[in-house]
Amino acid sequence: MSLHTDLLKQARHLARKEPKRPSQESLRRAVSASYYELFHLLIGEATQLMLSGRRRRPLRQSLARAFAHSTMKRVAQQFANQSVSDKLIHGFNDEALDSDLVDFADAFVELQQARHEADYALHRRFTRSEVVELIDRVDTAFQNWTQIRGSLQADTFLVGLLAFNLMQG
């Protein structure tokens, strides 16, 4: 199994491990693991797109460290809001934005915000049902990704996640 799949499995375990009253710690870690499932999925997909082949694995691992949460959020927000920058729109060949990609990007933005709240907003209380809904949202996002994976729009999205701030419009 891959890291991102293992993280989602861990999130499900944490969300359900205490049958009566789940601890905030378990729920917060479940939210965080859910976000990181998407985060690592995208980084893995992007680095594989840019540097394929077994011999390039060490280089992919180095490149993975170059991704910034803030840039990834900014790009995902553009796709979720269907207002993609001129820097990236050229990768669409005048086609309408795929709804599965819009939904995926929206899920990424939502999960990143939830992860931020889980990690930093200590006054924030999570419920099990809310956390399970977030985990289910990741499942749906993953299904959406399998539908669009390898498309020109998905590849444009992946390149933007890393290089948006360096691209010219």
Q: Which amino acid is at 72?
A: M
pTM for the predicted model, two decimal places = 0.93
Query: Poorest-confidence range of 18-22, 47-51, 63-67, 117-121?
Result: 18-22
Tell me the C-alpha to C-alpha distance, in Å, between residue 119 and each of 68, 80, 92: 17, 23, 36
Write out the two tokens for 45: 């997909």
**Do residues 110 and 136 touch, judged by C-beta distance below 8 A?**
no
Q: pLDDT digit string (tens) for 64-115?
A: 999 999 999 999 999 999 999 999 998 888 889 999 999 999 999 999 999 9
Q: pLDDT digit string (tens) for 127-159?
A: 999 999 999 999 999 999 999 999 999 999 999
Torsion of Cα atoms, 53 then 5 then 97 then 108, to 10°: -120
**Do residues 107 and 138 touch, judged by C-beta distance below 8 A?**
yes
